[in-house]
Structure 1
Amino acid sequence: MAVSSKEAEFLVACLCAGWCGTCREYQPGFQALAQKFPLAGFVWVDVEDEPEVADDIDVENFPTLVIQRDERVLFCGPMLPQLHLLERLIETFMAQSAEEALHYALGNAERAAWQTVANVRSRLPG
């Protein structure tokens, strides 16, 4: 059974738009990855329907992904719509210890800035 996005240790959020053909093509594979990683919470966020979730994230291209471990943002940015890239990134982050993830999340100025700007989990409804 999949865990809820709010409760899952790992959160994978895809920020897209309903009008985007690339997003529509990407969504079934994204949902399939959710089945492959049942302990992670996967959310699909239409940035036009739920602008408060994307908030200050600079969404320039679709899909834009945010990956979090608890409240720590590990990745925030556009990704080529190739699911094997996302799958490998999730596997890499899941293989890290909590301490490694913390060091990674704060490891440079860009990732440190994500912690306040890109915390999607804190803005999810419910």
Structure 2
Amino acid sequence: MPSITLQPENQHQLAQRMKDDVWVVACLCAAWCDVCTSYRPGFDELSAQHPDKLFVWIDIEDSADLVGDFDVENFPTLLIQRGDDVMFYGTTIPDHRIAHRLIASHVDKTESELKLQTQSSIEHKEWQLERNLRKALIQG
């Protein structure tokens, strides 16, 4: 199954699907970005490999009204979140195998390890406030 492209029509449905135990992997890109265009098939392949997770493709320019001001330094930027806990937010090498390893490194952690990680640094604490996709979609 390919990733879901965030659009105004599915914003609230996606927010509802982001329950406490659902892992969300979002790729923030832009339509004009050639790197993003070439990365999308691999991202969709990851989605097919992980049917238990919600994969979302977000064009940060087209969806700015929906997600707010997510600061993206470069493309592709990945967000990995479970419920309201943001586990990873950052630029990654455009290789879906790297994303696969990032996902695996988080889903293999215990609940207490995940909670500890959300508070492990100033950056991680900021992610909880500023990069929570579910909250952004509910408010948008």
**TM-based fold match above 0.5:** yes
Deviation at 1:54, TM superposition (A): 4.1
In the alignment, what sits opposite 2:18?
Answer: 6
Is structure 2 residue 45 aligned with structure 1 residue 45?
Answer: no
Deviation at 1:91, TM superposition (A): 0.7
In the alignment, what sits opposite 1:71?
Answer: 84
Which consecutive unaligned segments of at least 5 residues does structure 2 have?
A: 3-13
In the alignment, what sits opposite 2:11?
Answer: none
Deviations for 1:52-108, whole angstroms, at most 9, x for unmatched residues?
344232101000111001110000111110111110010111101111111011111
Is structure 2 residue 105 aligned with structure 1 residue 104?
Answer: no
Count the aligned residue pairs: 125
CA contact (8 A) 2:42 2:95 kept: no
In the alignment, what sits opposite 1:22?
Answer: 35
Distance 1:118 1:67 in 2: 10
Distance 1:37 1:57, change over 3 A: same
What secondary structure sits across from 2:54 in the alignment? strand
Tell me which amino acid in the other structure corresponds to 2:107. Answer: M
Structure-1-length-normalised TM-score: 0.90
Distance 2:66 2:28 in 1: 9
Distance 2:65 2:115 in 1: 26
Distance 1:104 1:53 in 2: 27
What secondary structure sits across from 1:19 in the alignment? coil
CA contact (8 A) 2:67 2:137 kept: no
| Structure 1 vs Structure 2 CA RMSD | 2.1
Tell me which amino acid in the other structure corresponds to 1:30. Answer: F
Is structure 2 residue 107 aligned with structure 1 residue 94?
Answer: yes
Distance 1:87 1:103 in 2: 22
In the alignment, what sits opposite 1:55?
Answer: 68
Structure-2-length-normalised TM-score: 0.81
Which consecutive unaligned segments of at least 5 residues does structure 1 have?
A: none
Deviation at 1:46, TM superposition (A): 0.3
